[in-house]
Amino acid sequence: MGDISLNTAGRHVLGLGCERGTPAAEVLALAVEALRAAGIAGTELAAIASIDSRRHEAAILAVASHFTVPAVFFDARRLEQETPRLKHPSAVVFARVGCHGVAESAALAAIGVDAELLLGKIKSAHATAAIARIGLQKD
């Protein structure tokens, strides 16, 4: 498992990326849209995850507060390790931040090797979101 403990009811992590200064309302609306698209409730979240350069980004912290879950952050090097598992890797994102994706990578990294993407990256004007879940055990 990654940096979070999923011993709560949450089996899912919402990965978020955003431009600096993105309004919290925009990121929260995208988060709600992601949950709806994935067919899960906010109570099923264990954490919000993003890149460490957004550790103090008000919008991401507001989403974590809204869902009363911790926010966890990873450096670009750690997020880049998730590239083989991404549904939507981006050379543009790599050029900007040093990894091929933030939302998908952060969600996967937060759970670890047992993670699988439930919802690939979706976008708003200034933000991205993705949802990972604990993978189903294979016998």
What are 54-68's pLDDT values in tens digits?
999 999 999 999 999
Residues 12-134, CATH architecture: 2-Layer Sandwich (3.30)
The 10 Å CB-count burial string (b at 16+, else e) for 96-124 is ebebbbbbbbbbbbbbeeebebbbbbbeb
Q: Could you state, in order of their start, the residue ranges of all structural domains in the chain?
A: 12-134
Q: Provide mean pLDDT across the span 42-53.
A: 97
* pTM greater than 0.85: yes
Is there a contact between 110 and 49 (Cβ–Cβ < 8 Å)? yes
Give the three-state DSSP class for 79: helix
Helix (H) or strand (E) holding 127: strand 127-134
Question: How does the average pLDDT of the chain come out, rounded?
Answer: 91
